[in-house]
Amino acid sequence: MPVTTHERMNVFLVLLALSGTAVADEVTDQARAMLNNHQAGDAYSLLAPLSDERAGDPDFDYLLGIAALDSGQPGQAVFALERVLAVKPDDALARAEIARAYFALSEFETSKQEFENVKTSGEVPANARATMDRYLSLIDRAQRGEQRLSGYVGFSTGYDSNVNSGTDESTIAIPVLGNLPFQLVDKATSQDNPFAAVSAGVNALKPIDKTWAMVGGARGYYRATETPFSTADTYLYAGVRGSFGKHEVVFAGQGEDFIIDADSLRFVYGGYAQYNYALDNKSRLSLSFQGNKIDYPDLTHRNATRYVTSASYLRAMPGKLEPVIYAGVYGGVEQENHSTRPQFGHDLYGGRLGGSIELMPKVRGFASVSMEQRDYHGADPVFLRTRDDTQYIVSSGVEYKFCESWMLRPNITYTVNDSNIPINDYDRVVVGIDVTMQF
């Protein structure tokens, strides 16, 4: 049985009595009254605008933390309560509430440690102890593991300025034919089209023991536009995950089928290994390695083997805008399977930088920029030069969570592929709006 709001309030009131009388003022008195009347959202709206000028005042930070936690913002609660404990490390009240915040963030080991610290710090009334025991029981159940299933269904529509990633040029000189100019067919030049798409995905976790769990999932989409440029993709993965405190490892196999105009263009299959390290409750470092075979059923001369190593960093920062930033770099090789076709293999490296901020309640803005360099292994037999591509992608948009499970996401993406082979040189703008239901 879950912990009730009444039981959580018992911890708040009992520990408040134990903690002594706090320094009061009009704002904190009003916020405390709101919390006592179960008006956490109103209390947070009252306190949050004052956080820049009053952060560091333990009484204010404590009330801000409780208001954030009980209004569904456990990350902000942790930031505020950490400031309290930095000044008053023996404050049982703040430590109990930060334990509850960690529980809401599913950081169960940290939550358990904090609850245990409160229980052993001194005499705790029976009703408060009983509520803490309920939390500890829920944590133990979560750590023992229960099967979990999550996923999404999405719908998208928009406009694509270059649905086939074609060149803007209509005529291209062919070096192997003495630079004789050739008129390109329409399918090889950029085509603009509206589109509509549907997507779905599911992820499952089944614990094996306290450390290891089986993981797996699938995702796919279908994007309809003018024939022959409709595309579809299906992706599957399955493996195991191990959790060791702040350390996590994942080993999985994966497979993908990419389809254009109802025909499979390529199959990708292989596996990956990933290591995640929680630097603290607000930041994470990830390292991964992937190895895949790429098979083209109708173009076997293009078959290749791809190896990529990557590193990424994510951090959630304190502040009214709740900023989240991430950065990543990667490098690898796509090795051609046929030594007589080096123009289809390449070395690659790149990076990505992005983030998001809260623009208003339930609305976040996001943006990202990425770059990938591809250096091919041999000269193109038609254009008589070794291909060299640099691709840039810039995207931005807004996420509006208009109810508990549904999100609206207007977005725009600009892509430019700068290539020394004219037929591979292009740019593209995609403007869309997505509606996603998560479960």
**With bands split at pLDDT 50, 70 and 90, how would you rate the model's confidence at 230?**
very high
Domain with CATH 1.25.40.10 in the chain: 5-144
Nearest Cα neighbor of 215 from 292, 174, 297, 272 is: 272
**Signed CA dihedral, 3, 7, 13, 19: sign only:** negative
CA nearest to 83, candidates 53, 57, 102, 104: 57
Rg (CA), the chain: 27
* pLDDT at position 22: 44
| pLDDT exceeds cutoff 80 at 318 | no
Kindly report each contact of residues 347-353 with a partner whose C-beta sits within 8 Å and lies 24 or more positions away, as own/partner.
347/374, 347/375, 347/377, 348/308, 348/372, 348/373, 348/374, 348/375, 349/373, 350/391, 351/327, 352/312, 352/326, 352/327, 352/328, 353/325, 353/326, 353/327, 353/328
Q: What is the pLDDT of residue 117?
A: 83
Would you state the pLDDT for residue 125?
66
Answer with the residue of higher pLDDT: 178 or 356: 356
- Are 212 and 228 within 8 A, CB to CB? no
Domain 5-144 has CATH 3.30.460.80: no
pLDDT at 240 over 70: yes
Give the model's pLDDT for residue 315.
Answer: 92
Q: CA 85, CA 113: separation in Å to the nearest integer?
A: 15
Separation of alpha carbons 153 and 315, rounded Å? 27
**Average pLDDT, stretch 78-107?**
87
Helix/strand/coil for 250: strand
Task: Count CB-CB contacts under 10 A for residue 182.
Answer: 11
Predicted confidence at residue 146, as pLDDT, reads: 63
Average pLDDT over all residues of the chain: 88
Domain with CATH 2.40.160.60 in the chain: 148-438
> Tens digit of pLDDT for each residue in 151-198?
999 999 999 999 999 999 889 989 888 888 888 887 778 999 999 999
Higher pLDDT, 6 or 169: 169
Is the model's pLDDT at 137 over the cut of 90? no
CATH homologous superfamily, domain 148-438: Outer membrane protein transport protein (OMPP1/FadL/TodX) (2.40.160.60)
Which residue in the block uniquely carries the two structure tokens 């549904």?
406
Q: What does residue 265 show for φ and ψ, rounded to 5 degrees? A: -85, -45
% pLDDT > 70, the chain: 91
Residue 437 has pLDDT above 90, yes or no: yes
326 confidence band (pLDDT: 50, 70, 90)? very high
Is pLDDT at 129 greater than 80 in this prediction?
A: no
